[in-house]
Structure 1
Amino acid sequence: MDDALRFNLLGSSPQFAHVLAQIRRVARFDITVLVSGETGTGKELAAHAVHYLGDRAGGPFIPINCGALSESLVESELFGHERGAFTDARQAAPGLISEADGGTLFLDEIDALSSKAQASLLRFLQDGTYRRVGGTQMRQADVRLIAASNADLDALVESRRFRRDLLYRLKVLPLHMPPLRERGEDVVELAQTFLDRLNQRYIDDMPGKRFHPRTIAALAHHDWPGNVRELEHFVQREFLMCEDRVIHAMPDHHASDSRSHAAEPRFNGAFREAKARAIAEFERRYVASAMKRAHGNISEAARMAGQDRSAFSKLVRKYREKAEPAVRREKHSVDP
């Protein structure tokens, strides 16, 4: 299997072909890598590829999102802790660096690390040694570090929110994942790939679907601020909600004038009200689609939706009751 397909790194544009070549080259060298790029560009997929194409493929790949860790726990998660090191430390824990020994530790959103955690990580990168929280014994681990960030780390260094010496240690082999808007025809290729996968996945539940030509054109001209992740979610949502064989939906706020202008969110009322309307519309369309596929059988529709029958039945009644007054109003408006 081709490396790109193996790691779900899809695209054939010259820009992305260059990235794939870089990934293969970087994987050959057992050294720290810093992956940069906007949200949704595939930074973790690139880290997976670097690990499994390198000499450490037989070792563990341990990912962690630094932004999801509280400042008080991040050192414990990374380096482990001894029993009694803090209130809830009822037993010793080895930490992620120990778990990654012989393999790769992937630190996503590394810019979220506190100053103290940055200093501890720098010390580990310098000599491969560390100390558990609450411990005195120096330990050693053979770990390749891959870090990732969608922030401008150089700017954070200038504003004293990220250590310059740590950035130098991380930026030995930089790898940049380009935004989708700079990848040309990859947008249409990716959208079609995602659609093909959904057609195959739901082959027994619904007929195959395809994009309308106007939708394809709109996909190609949208800026995709959320990049590949946003595109995949768009295709999945429209595939599931489309009630016929042709998907006519357009991406929200699609750029009709120029790719250089970022899409601006549209505001209509208070956030809470707008969110409630969006959720209600999604539920209404989803319920209608599920009931159509199940030929009106609530039990079957609930099963396909992965919902409890009672809960799904309440949704059906909710949107049926909302629809009936509108039908009655329309009927009375045309009655003689």
Structure 2
Amino acid sequence: MADKLESNLLGSSPQFAHVIAQIRRIAKFDVAVLIGGETGTGKELGARAVHYLSARAQQPFIPVNCGALADSLVESELFGHERGAFTDARQASPGLISEAEGGTLFLDEIDTLSPKAQASLLRFLQDGTYRRVGGTQTRQTNVRLIAASNANLDELARARQFRRDLLYRLKVMNLVMPPLRERGNDAVELAKIFLDRLNRQYQEQAAPKRFHADMLAAFARYAWPGNIRELEHFVQREYLMSEGEVIHGALPQDGAVAAPAADRYNTVFKQAKAKVIADFERSYVAAAMARARGNISHAARIAGQDRSAFSKLVSKYRVASMAEQGQDSGD
């Protein structure tokens, strides 16, 4: 499992090497961990790395997307419920915490939990005990908790939108996954790795493909607002759409290429304004789609937009939808 883990923690930049060293150290200590980082930076991979490099490696790793849990069912999903605890509870359910017994429970997008759910989680973290919904028996469990968020929980705590006492309980160890734009030449390295995987996957249908040198240079310059997930999906799309053996695909013109400020404003006002707006729109749409796991309807609700209008933005900026995303490894 450790060898497989290493193959998924891709990148050789000094910035990412530092993250790997942190993961190895954190894995040694059986305490709660809070993972931060932008959408698509690989927070779940970081959590899996901590688990599989720890003494709990042979026990379950249970990932939970808190943003996908209905507020009314959070406690039931986490702690389980007894038969008849509520209208649809036709049979008892052990809950996700029980499933993670001896292993690790990974709570992604923990900032989306309601105040009530945060209070319940805090009680569980304090002494490791809980009760199933509708039950009277107090249960003890041995579970390591790893939480992740792309939001600034310190700011949310100051705004009283996230419990400060819960934040302290979660933030015993802190790990931040760096954005791809801050990882040196890792974007080029990752693009080549993703292309090699595709060449092996489709070796019976097509001859091996390679990137044009200009495209590799563009990979290094591009800001990648959607980080690793955006890069992986982009490489896959260009591979499948390219008819020749050399991939000449162009990065989205409206996606913010990391250019110096002087160059950014070396144009007429109208063009500069249009580019800034386009950069923001694309970055926002990519983040919303990633948070919604590619579900356009969910992403539109997150953005407070009409689904039809939001869908047009998704098409305009070539952001991957649920059908295109499938099972990705860049959370």
Paired residues of 1:16 and 1:178 also in contact (CA < 8 A): yes
Which residue does the alignment assign to 1:221?
221
Residue identity opposite 2:309 in structure 1 = F
Paired residues of 1:219 and 1:250 also in contact (CA < 8 A): no
* Residue 193 (str. 1) matches residue 193 (str. 2): yes
Larger radius of gyration: 1
Which residue does the alignment assign to 2:12?
12
- Deviating more after overlay: 250-259 vs 136-145: 250-259
Q: CA-to-partner distance for each residue in 1:303-325, whole Å, 9 max, x for gaps?
A: xxxxxxxxxxxxxxxxxxxxxxx
- Deviating more after overlay: 206-215 vs 271-280: 271-280
Paired residues of 2:37 and 2:176 also in contact (CA < 8 A): yes
Separation in 2, partners of 1:75, 1:122:
12
Q: CA-to-partner distance for each residue in 1:90-143, whole Å, 9 max, x for gaps?
A: 111110001111000000000111111111111111111001111111111100
Residue identity opposite 2:65 in structure 1 = N
Separation in 2, partners of 1:138, 1:2:
36
Which residue does the alignment assign to 2:98?
98
Aligned-pair CA distance for 1:258: 1.3
Separation in 2, partners of 1:220, 1:235:
14
Separation in 1, partners of 2:311, 2:126:
52
Superposition CA RMSD, Å: 2.4
Written as runs of structure 1 = structure 2, the 5 A alignment for 1:23-38 is 23-38=23-38
Residues 153 and 259 (structure 1 numbering): CA distance in 2 closer, same or farther, change over 3 Å? farther
Q: CA-to-partner distance for each residue in 1:178-205, whole Å, 9 max, x for gaps?
A: 0000001001000000001101110110
Which residue does the alignment assign to 2:241?
241
Which residue does the alignment assign to 2:207?
207
Separation in 2, partners of 1:32, 1:2:
21
TM-score, structure 2 as length reference: 0.79
Aligned-pair CA distance for 1:244: 0.7
Separation in 2, partners of 1:113, 1:264:
27
Separation in 1, partners of 2:90, 2:137:
19
Aligned-pair CA distance for 1:271: 3.2
* Residue 164 (str. 1) matches residue 164 (str. 2): yes
Separation in 1, partners of 2:202, 2:31:
42
Q: Tell me, what secondary structure is at the counterpart of 2:174?
A: strand
Aligned-pair CA distance for 1:257: 5.8
Separation in 1, partners of 2:215, 2:24:
34
Written as runs of structure 1 = structure 2, the 5 A alignment for 1:262-281 is 263-265=279-281, 271=309, 274=312
Paired positions, count = 278
Aligned-pair CA distance for 1:67: 0.2
Residue identity opposite 2:113 in structure 1 = L
TM-score, structure 1 as length reference: 0.78
Which residue does the alignment assign to 1:324?
none
Paired residues of 1:224 and 1:231 also in contact (CA < 8 A): yes
**Structure with more relative contact order (C-alpha pairs < 8 Å, separation 6 or more):** 2
Which residue does the alignment assign to 2:59?
59
Residues 265 and 160 (structure 1 numbering): CA distance in 2 closer, same or farther, change over 3 Å? closer
Q: Which runs of 5+ in 1 are unaligned?
A: 283-336
- Deviating more after overlay: 246-255 vs 29-38: 246-255
Residues 23 and 69 (structure 1 numbering): CA distance in 2 closer, same or farther, change over 3 Å? same
Paired residues of 1:181 and 1:259 also in contact (CA < 8 A): no
Which residue does the alignment assign to 1:177?
177
* Residue 152 (str. 1) matches residue 152 (str. 2): yes
Residues 42 and 257 (structure 1 numbering): CA distance in 2 closer, same or farther, change over 3 Å? closer
Separation in 1, partners of 2:184, 2:143:
37
Separation in 1, partners of 2:177, 2:317:
32
